[in-house]
Structure 1
Amino acid sequence: MKAAILSWMIALTGLAVPQAAWAQPGVRLDTQMFVERVTTDVNGRSRRLLASADRVAPGDQLIVIVHWRNDGSAPLRDQAVVRPLPRGAQIDPTDPTMQVSVDGGAHWGRMEQLWLPTPLGGTRRAVAADVTHVRWSLPQAVPPGHAGRLSYRATMR
């Protein structure tokens, strides 16, 4: 358990790296992470609450929100937002606009398009636990000052 918490803290510090290290020139990225907690109210109805992700445990449902903004002076064309997955998180890859990588960002695609080598020399289809990075393509042309928000869900392993 302590090892899981330590690896999570290391992952969080990686997200605190200055955004220029992760973003293309002119794009500002800010990431927020929450744990989704399901509780029951006094009437017996389920309530979903978002809590700070400073303490996570295996099985916790994460919601990661990436805010992007064109801080440059020219429109952005053919740009993508790329984010590493927090260590120990397994993504929910159901978003049709999101591409994933299982090799640190060298190759991209939908889950059903990605394959990995096996120890015996064969290949296998990639699964959610293999994902290392996520990517979304920005709209065709993003004028200066325009911003947006992207999000994905993941489960702590």
Structure 2
Amino acid sequence: MKGVLVTLAGLLAAQAAGAQQPLRLDTQMFVERVSTDINGRPRRTLASPARLSPGDQLIVLLHWRNDGSAPLRDAAIVRAMPRGQEPDLSDPAMQVSVDGGAHWGRIDQLWLPTPLGGTRRAVAADITHMRWPLPRAAAGQTGRISYRATLR
């Protein structure tokens, strides 16, 4: 599996008690291609996201590592939702924000103001940021989080 490996040091940060943690984060992104094999069955493959089209399914892998000398406590990986992508919301650990990270929750718990002074439920297209709380991580500990998104 080859893909684009982008180091997002500084762009994606951990949040813990108001201070940044020594968390290294590397991201890999793939597009899932579905084709039909010779027997007429669907075949799924992962490809480089060099050529993307609306409706493509993206698979994003977030590899994290505690590079500090102390354990991480109450940390989270926060990722801005790229424009034109709509995340799969089935991960129960993922929290989302529709206001740039000021408020967090599941999508069915979030509301947005309407132009006429009312409110409406937030939908996946409103998401601005995603967050995954991390377990207590010892120095040198690593982990991986993955999510899917659809290109609009």
Q: Tell me the TM-score normalized by structure 1.
A: 0.85
Taking a change above 3 Å as real, the CA distance of residues 17 and 66 of structure 1, as seen in their structure-2 partners, is closer
Q: 2:70 aligns with which of 69, 74, 95?
A: 74
**Structure 1 residue 130 and structure 2 residue 126: aligned?**
yes
Give the aligned residue type for 1:22: L
Alpha carbons 2:111, 2:120 under 8 Å: kept: yes
Q: Any residues of structure 2 matched to 1:13-28 within 5 Å, and which?
A: 18-24=8-14, 25-28=21-24
* 1:125 to partner: Cα distance: 0.4
Match of 1:5 in 2: none
- Tell me the distance in 2 between the aligned counterparts of 1:44 and 1:145: 46
Q: Which residue of 2 aligns with 1:148?
A: 143
Give the TM-score normalised by structure 2. Answer: 0.88
User: How many residues get paired?
Assistant: 143
Q: Distance in 2 between matches of 1:20 and 1:90?
A: 23
Equivalent residue of 1:112, what SS?
A: helix
Q: Indicate the residue corresponding to 1:56 in structure 2.
A: 52
Matched, 1:29 2:22: no
SS in 2 for 1:20: coil
- Percent of aligned positions that are identical: 69
| Counterpart code for 2:11 | A
Deviation (angstroms), 1:18: 4.4
Larger helix proportion of the pair? 1
Structure 2: runs of 5 or more not aligned? 15-20
Specify every segment of 5 or more residues in structure 1 that has no aligned partner in the other structure, as ranges. 1-11
**1:115 corresponds to:** 111
Alignment-derived partner of residue 85 in structure 2? 89
Aligned Cα root-mean-square deviation (Å):
1.7
Give, in whole Å, the separation in 2 of the partners of 1:116 and 1:17: 33
